[in-house]
Amino acid sequence: MKCALIFIIAVSAACASAQQSNVVYPLGVGDKWEYWLTWGAFHDHTVVLGDTIMSDGLHYAHIFEDSHLTSRFERQSGDSVFEYPSSLKYVFSNSVGDTIWTRSAPAETTDCILVLADTTSIFGRELRRWRFWMYRRNAYDAEQSYDIVDSLGMAEQRAAMTSTIALTGAIIDGIQYGSITDVRSDRSNLPDKSFSLPQNFPNPFNLSTIIRYTLPSHSHVALTVFNILGAQVAGLVDGVQPAGSYDVRFDASTLPGGVYVVRLNAGTFTLSNRMILVK
Protein backbone atom coordinates (compact mmCIF):
# COMPACT_ATOMS: atom_id res chain seq x y z
CA MET A 1 0.00 0.00 0.00
CA LYS A 2 2.85 2.39 0.75
CA CYS A 3 4.29 1.74 -2.72
CA ALA A 4 0.92 2.60 -4.24
CA LEU A 5 0.82 5.82 -2.23
CA ILE A 6 4.33 6.79 -3.42
CA PHE A 7 3.25 6.15 -7.02
CA ILE A 8 0.13 8.33 -6.62
CA ILE A 9 2.18 11.15 -5.12
CA ALA A 10 4.79 10.94 -7.90
CA VAL A 11 2.20 11.06 -10.69
CA SER A 12 0.28 13.87 -9.00
CA ALA A 13 3.43 15.91 -8.43
CA ALA A 14 4.26 15.62 -12.11
CA CYS A 15 0.84 17.03 -12.98
CA ALA A 16 0.81 19.85 -10.43
CA SER A 17 3.16 20.74 -7.62
CA ALA A 18 0.67 23.15 -6.06
CA GLN A 19 -2.80 24.43 -6.71
CA GLN A 20 -3.77 28.09 -7.08
CA SER A 21 -5.53 29.91 -4.29
CA ASN A 22 -9.11 31.20 -4.07
CA VAL A 23 -10.56 27.76 -3.49
CA VAL A 24 -14.30 27.76 -2.83
CA TYR A 25 -15.29 25.29 -0.12
CA PRO A 26 -19.08 25.79 -0.12
CA LEU A 27 -20.56 26.52 3.29
CA GLY A 28 -23.49 28.76 2.36
CA VAL A 29 -26.72 28.46 4.32
CA GLY A 30 -29.04 26.15 2.37
CA ASP A 31 -26.27 24.33 0.49
CA LYS A 32 -27.13 20.61 0.20
CA TRP A 33 -25.31 17.43 -0.82
CA GLU A 34 -26.55 13.92 -1.55
CA TYR A 35 -24.19 10.95 -1.19
CA TRP A 36 -24.53 7.27 -2.03
CA LEU A 37 -23.16 5.12 0.81
CA THR A 38 -22.05 1.89 -0.80
CA TRP A 39 -21.48 0.04 2.47
CA GLY A 40 -25.12 0.58 3.51
CA ALA A 41 -26.71 0.90 0.05
CA PHE A 42 -28.62 4.10 0.90
CA HIS A 43 -28.53 7.84 0.26
CA ASP A 44 -27.34 10.33 2.84
CA HIS A 45 -28.11 14.05 2.80
CA THR A 46 -26.01 16.83 4.24
CA VAL A 47 -27.30 20.40 4.66
CA VAL A 48 -25.87 23.71 5.87
CA LEU A 49 -28.50 24.81 8.36
CA GLY A 50 -27.03 28.13 9.42
CA ASP A 51 -24.11 30.26 10.48
CA THR A 52 -23.18 30.57 14.14
CA ILE A 53 -20.51 32.03 16.41
CA MET A 54 -18.96 29.32 18.55
CA SER A 55 -17.20 29.65 21.90
CA ASP A 56 -13.89 30.61 20.22
CA GLY A 57 -15.57 33.76 18.86
CA LEU A 58 -15.37 32.63 15.21
CA HIS A 59 -18.13 32.10 12.65
CA TYR A 60 -18.82 28.50 11.62
CA ALA A 61 -21.32 26.89 9.25
CA HIS A 62 -23.64 24.46 11.02
CA ILE A 63 -23.70 21.29 8.90
CA PHE A 64 -26.26 18.56 9.55
CA GLU A 65 -26.28 14.96 8.27
CA ASP A 66 -29.80 13.56 7.96
CA SER A 67 -29.19 9.84 8.21
CA HIS A 68 -26.98 10.03 11.30
CA LEU A 69 -28.76 13.02 12.91
CA THR A 70 -25.35 14.55 13.61
CA SER A 71 -23.96 18.06 13.37
CA ARG A 72 -20.52 19.48 12.75
CA PHE A 73 -19.22 23.02 12.48
CA GLU A 74 -16.78 24.14 9.78
CA ARG A 75 -15.26 27.38 8.51
CA GLN A 76 -12.93 28.37 5.69
CA SER A 77 -10.06 30.79 6.20
CA GLY A 78 -8.10 31.49 3.03
CA ASP A 79 -7.00 28.15 1.60
CA SER A 80 -7.62 26.25 4.84
CA VAL A 81 -10.71 24.58 6.30
CA PHE A 82 -11.19 24.16 10.04
CA GLU A 83 -13.65 22.05 12.03
CA TYR A 84 -14.74 23.28 15.44
CA PRO A 85 -13.05 23.56 17.85
CA SER A 86 -10.48 25.11 15.44
CA SER A 87 -9.03 21.80 14.30
CA LEU A 88 -7.25 22.07 10.92
CA LYS A 89 -8.97 19.83 8.38
CA TYR A 90 -7.76 20.68 4.84
CA VAL A 91 -5.17 22.97 3.23
CA PHE A 92 -5.43 23.49 -0.55
CA SER A 93 -2.31 25.60 -1.20
CA ASN A 94 0.22 22.93 -0.20
CA SER A 95 2.18 20.78 -2.63
CA VAL A 96 1.43 17.15 -3.35
CA GLY A 97 3.25 15.00 -0.81
CA ASP A 98 3.01 17.57 2.00
CA THR A 99 1.79 16.45 5.42
CA ILE A 100 -1.13 18.72 6.34
CA TRP A 101 -1.29 17.68 9.98
CA THR A 102 -0.24 14.94 12.39
CA ARG A 103 -2.23 14.03 15.50
CA SER A 104 -1.27 11.62 18.22
CA ALA A 105 -3.34 9.59 20.66
CA PRO A 106 -2.42 6.74 22.99
CA ALA A 107 -0.80 3.93 20.95
CA GLU A 108 -1.56 5.56 17.59
CA THR A 109 -0.66 8.47 15.30
CA THR A 110 -2.69 9.82 12.37
CA ASP A 111 -1.22 11.75 9.43
CA CYS A 112 -3.14 13.75 6.81
CA ILE A 113 -1.21 13.97 3.52
CA LEU A 114 -2.12 15.71 0.27
CA VAL A 115 -1.63 12.94 -2.32
CA LEU A 116 -3.38 14.32 -5.40
CA ALA A 117 -3.99 17.76 -6.91
CA ASP A 118 -5.52 17.72 -10.39
CA THR A 119 -8.76 18.43 -12.23
CA THR A 120 -11.78 16.19 -12.58
CA SER A 121 -14.94 16.18 -14.68
CA ILE A 122 -18.04 16.12 -12.49
CA PHE A 123 -21.63 17.07 -13.33
CA GLY A 124 -20.45 18.37 -16.72
CA ARG A 125 -17.86 20.72 -15.19
CA GLU A 126 -14.07 20.56 -15.17
CA LEU A 127 -13.05 21.45 -11.62
CA ARG A 128 -9.95 21.34 -9.42
CA ARG A 129 -9.68 18.37 -7.06
CA TRP A 130 -7.57 17.59 -4.00
CA ARG A 131 -7.24 14.18 -2.36
CA PHE A 132 -6.30 14.04 1.29
CA TRP A 133 -5.07 10.68 2.57
CA MET A 134 -5.39 9.97 6.28
CA TYR A 135 -3.25 7.17 7.60
CA ARG A 136 -3.51 5.93 11.15
CA ARG A 137 -0.51 4.03 12.45
CA ASN A 138 -1.21 1.48 15.18
CA ALA A 139 -1.41 -2.29 15.56
CA TYR A 140 -4.02 -2.43 12.75
CA ASP A 141 -2.96 0.31 10.29
CA ALA A 142 -6.03 2.02 8.80
CA GLU A 143 -6.46 4.53 6.03
CA GLN A 144 -9.08 6.78 4.45
CA SER A 145 -9.01 9.36 1.69
CA TYR A 146 -11.25 12.34 0.92
CA ASP A 147 -11.67 13.98 -2.50
CA ILE A 148 -12.48 17.69 -2.18
CA VAL A 149 -13.63 19.47 -5.35
CA ASP A 150 -13.48 23.24 -5.83
CA SER A 151 -16.94 24.86 -5.46
CA LEU A 152 -18.61 21.49 -4.69
CA GLY A 153 -17.01 20.25 -1.45
CA MET A 154 -16.45 16.57 -0.67
CA ALA A 155 -17.03 14.43 -3.75
CA GLU A 156 -15.84 11.02 -2.59
CA GLN A 157 -14.56 9.16 0.45
CA ARG A 158 -12.54 5.97 0.26
CA ALA A 159 -11.45 3.37 2.76
CA ALA A 160 -8.40 1.32 1.69
CA MET A 161 -8.73 2.86 -1.81
CA THR A 162 -12.30 1.52 -2.24
CA SER A 163 -15.06 4.09 -2.73
CA THR A 164 -17.49 4.03 0.18
CA ILE A 165 -19.22 7.41 -0.13
CA ALA A 166 -19.82 9.12 -3.49
CA LEU A 167 -21.48 12.45 -4.32
CA THR A 168 -24.54 12.03 -6.54
CA GLY A 169 -25.90 15.57 -6.41
CA ALA A 170 -25.64 18.97 -4.78
CA ILE A 171 -27.40 22.32 -4.52
CA ILE A 172 -24.86 25.13 -4.14
CA ASP A 173 -25.99 28.78 -4.00
CA GLY A 174 -29.39 27.65 -5.26
CA ILE A 175 -28.03 25.86 -8.35
CA GLN A 176 -28.54 22.09 -8.59
CA TYR A 177 -25.87 19.73 -9.90
CA GLY A 178 -26.51 16.04 -10.47
CA SER A 179 -29.56 14.47 -8.81
CA ILE A 180 -31.17 15.08 -5.43
CA THR A 181 -33.73 12.42 -4.52
CA ASP A 182 -34.91 13.88 -1.22
CA VAL A 183 -33.75 16.42 1.32
CA ARG A 184 -35.77 16.61 4.49
CA SER A 185 -37.15 20.13 4.91
CA ASP A 186 -38.70 19.86 8.39
CA ARG A 187 -35.93 20.36 10.93
CA SER A 188 -37.90 22.12 13.64
CA ASN A 189 -37.05 19.41 16.16
CA LEU A 190 -33.29 19.46 15.65
CA PRO A 191 -31.21 19.81 18.79
CA ASP A 192 -29.45 23.01 19.82
CA LYS A 193 -26.91 24.05 17.15
CA SER A 194 -24.01 23.81 19.60
CA PHE A 195 -24.96 20.28 20.69
CA SER A 196 -23.21 17.90 18.33
CA LEU A 197 -21.90 14.39 17.80
CA PRO A 198 -19.69 14.45 14.65
CA GLN A 199 -18.78 11.24 12.88
CA ASN A 200 -16.14 9.25 14.75
CA PHE A 201 -12.67 9.30 13.23
CA PRO A 202 -11.52 7.20 11.57
CA ASN A 203 -14.59 5.44 10.22
CA PRO A 204 -14.50 2.61 9.17
CA PHE A 205 -11.98 1.69 11.85
CA ASN A 206 -10.28 -1.24 13.50
CA LEU A 207 -9.06 -1.59 17.07
CA SER A 208 -10.08 1.90 18.20
CA THR A 209 -11.63 5.20 17.10
CA ILE A 210 -12.12 8.69 18.54
CA ILE A 211 -15.64 9.93 19.35
CA ARG A 212 -16.02 13.69 19.71
CA TYR A 213 -19.03 15.56 21.07
CA THR A 214 -19.92 19.10 22.09
CA LEU A 215 -22.22 20.20 24.92
CA PRO A 216 -23.95 23.61 24.89
CA SER A 217 -24.46 23.62 28.66
CA HIS A 218 -23.76 21.77 31.91
CA SER A 219 -25.47 18.38 31.46
CA HIS A 220 -25.66 14.81 32.65
CA VAL A 221 -24.05 12.85 29.83
CA ALA A 222 -24.36 9.22 28.80
CA LEU A 223 -22.24 8.03 25.88
CA THR A 224 -23.08 4.43 25.01
CA VAL A 225 -22.25 2.00 22.20
CA PHE A 226 -24.68 -0.67 20.92
CA ASN A 227 -24.34 -3.47 18.41
CA ILE A 228 -26.67 -3.81 15.43
CA LEU A 229 -29.08 -5.92 17.52
CA GLY A 230 -29.47 -3.14 20.08
CA ALA A 231 -27.42 -4.75 22.86
CA GLN A 232 -25.14 -2.42 24.79
CA VAL A 233 -21.46 -3.29 24.30
CA ALA A 234 -19.78 -0.30 25.98
CA GLY A 235 -20.57 2.52 28.37
CA LEU A 236 -18.01 5.25 27.68
CA VAL A 237 -19.33 8.18 29.72
CA ASP A 238 -21.93 8.40 32.48
CA GLY A 239 -21.82 11.55 34.58
CA VAL A 240 -22.20 15.32 34.76
CA GLN A 241 -19.99 17.44 32.48
CA PRO A 242 -19.72 21.21 31.90
CA ALA A 243 -20.26 22.84 28.50
CA GLY A 244 -17.45 22.20 26.04
CA SER A 245 -16.02 19.71 23.56
CA TYR A 246 -14.82 16.23 24.48
CA ASP A 247 -12.87 13.43 22.79
CA VAL A 248 -13.40 9.83 23.93
CA ARG A 249 -11.44 6.84 22.65
CA PHE A 250 -13.54 3.74 21.96
CA ASP A 251 -11.50 0.55 22.23
CA ALA A 252 -13.14 -2.17 20.14
CA SER A 253 -10.25 -4.61 20.14
CA THR A 254 -12.34 -7.33 21.83
CA LEU A 255 -15.42 -6.88 19.63
CA PRO A 256 -16.23 -8.61 16.32
CA GLY A 257 -16.32 -6.62 13.11
CA GLY A 258 -19.63 -5.07 12.07
CA VAL A 259 -21.84 -2.01 12.41
CA TYR A 260 -22.17 -0.34 15.81
CA VAL A 261 -24.17 2.65 17.00
CA VAL A 262 -22.87 5.26 19.42
CA ARG A 263 -25.57 7.19 21.26
CA LEU A 264 -25.14 10.46 23.14
CA ASN A 265 -27.73 11.50 25.72
CA ALA A 266 -27.30 14.92 27.34
CA GLY A 267 -30.24 16.46 29.18
CA THR A 268 -33.20 16.32 26.80
CA PHE A 269 -31.05 15.86 23.70
CA THR A 270 -30.16 12.57 21.99
CA LEU A 271 -27.90 12.01 18.98
CA SER A 272 -26.51 8.85 17.42
CA ASN A 273 -24.00 7.74 14.81
CA ARG A 274 -23.22 4.53 12.97
CA MET A 275 -19.68 3.22 13.24
CA ILE A 276 -18.11 0.45 11.15
CA LEU A 277 -15.59 -1.86 12.79
CA VAL A 278 -13.45 -3.70 10.22
CA LYS A 279 -11.48 -6.80 11.24
What is the average pLDDT across 265-279?
A: 85
Q: Look at residue 192 and tell me if it is in a domain.
A: no
The verdict on 72 and 112 lying in the same domain is yes
User: Of the candidates 186, 128, 189, 182, which has an alpha carbon nearest to the alpha carbon of residue 155?
Assistant: 128
Kindly tell me if the per-residue pLDDT of 119 is higher than 90.
yes
Do residues 118 and 173 both lie within one domain?
Answer: yes
Query: Which own/partner contact pairs does 174-182 have at CB distance under 8 Å and 24+ positions apart?
Result: 174/30, 177/122, 177/123, 177/125, 177/152, 178/34, 178/123, 179/34, 180/32, 180/34, 181/34, 181/43, 182/43, 182/45
Shared domain for 170 and 219, answered yes or no, is no
Is pLDDT at 189 greater than 90 in this prediction?
Answer: no
10 and 91 together in one domain: yes
**Same-domain pairing of 141 and 50:** yes
Q: Indicate which CATH number applies to the domain containing 214.
A: 2.60.40.3080
- Is residue 196 a part of any domain in this protein? no
Residue 188 in domain? no
Same domain, 16 and 107: yes
Q: Are residues 254 and 140 in the same domain?
A: no
pLDDT of 188 over the 60 cut: no
The total of structural domains in the chain comes to: 2
pLDDT band at 68 (very low <50, low <70, confident <90, very high): low
183 is a domain residue:
no
User: Average pLDDT, stretch 25-30?
Assistant: 94
Residue 192's SS3 state is coil
**What domain range includes position 253?**
208-277
Q: Per-residue pLDDT for 134 more than 80?
A: yes
- Regarding whether 156 and 72 lie in a shared domain, the answer is yes
Q: Is 135 part of a structural domain of the chain?
A: yes
Residue 88 confidence (pLDDT): 94
Which tens digits make up the pLDDT trace of 72-81? 889 999 999 9
Please give the residue that has the higher pLDDT: either 70 or 119: 119
Give 23 or 192, the one with higher predicted confidence.
23
Q: Which residue has the higher pLDDT, 203 or 211?
A: 211
Same domain for 114 and 228? no
What's this model's pTM, rounded to 2 decimal places? 0.62
Q: Which of 163, 178, 193 is the last residue of a domain?
A: 178
Mean pLDDT, residues 28-49:
84
Do 228 and 152 have their domain in common? Answer: no
The pLDDT score that the predictor gives to residue 52 is 84
